[in-house]
Amino acid sequence: MNYLLSAVIALSFSVAAVEDIQFEKEWIKVGQLELEVELALTSEQRARGFMYRDKVESGMLFIYPEQRILSFWMRNTKVPLDIAYIKADWTIEPVQFLYPYDEKGKKSQGPAIGALEMPQGWFKAQGLAAGTKIIRCGKTCN
């Protein structure tokens, strides 16, 4: 009985933890397209990403304090995504596909300062590829 009670308490804490992380939004330009994305700026936000969501309607911009080789996986992520790693000059590397629940990391080709995750197929549908520039606009793009 104590084991069951401990399991219920642990589950309630993990469910609460899923709901606790909030993401601010910001407008960005990807090439000529303007869109609002969620920001993952803290280590907790970057670790959570799109985990536990049933759908993804927009994107998420992950930003790191310094450039390095990055690797993303899809633990607890239900929806297929595209990922474009962002180089120091804010251009993107070739887009990679991320598949639900795949725990094999997909690495950046070189040092990156961030990544943009979008619903799978978004970059291709928009005609965007490696070398496309990303600009952070803030509350609105002019």
pLDDT at 3 over 80: no
**Does residue 134 sit in helix, strand or coil?**
strand
Tokens matching residue 84: 């474009």
Residue identified by tokens 């596909």 is 97
- Region 83-103 average pLDDT: 98
d(Cα 69, Cα 134) in Å, to the nearest integer?
A: 19
Domain positions in the chain are 22-138
What is the model's pLDDT at position 5? 38
pTM: 0.86
Residue identified by tokens 């390095």 is 68
Pairing type for strands 71-72 and 106-107 reads: antiparallel
Residue identified by tokens 């619903």 is 119
What is the model's pLDDT at position 22? 94
CATH homologous superfamily of 22-138 equals Protein of unknown function DUF192 (2.60.120.1140)
- Region 63-84 average pLDDT: 97
What is the model's pLDDT at position 19? 58
What is the model's pLDDT at position 20? 80
What is the model's pLDDT at position 84? 98
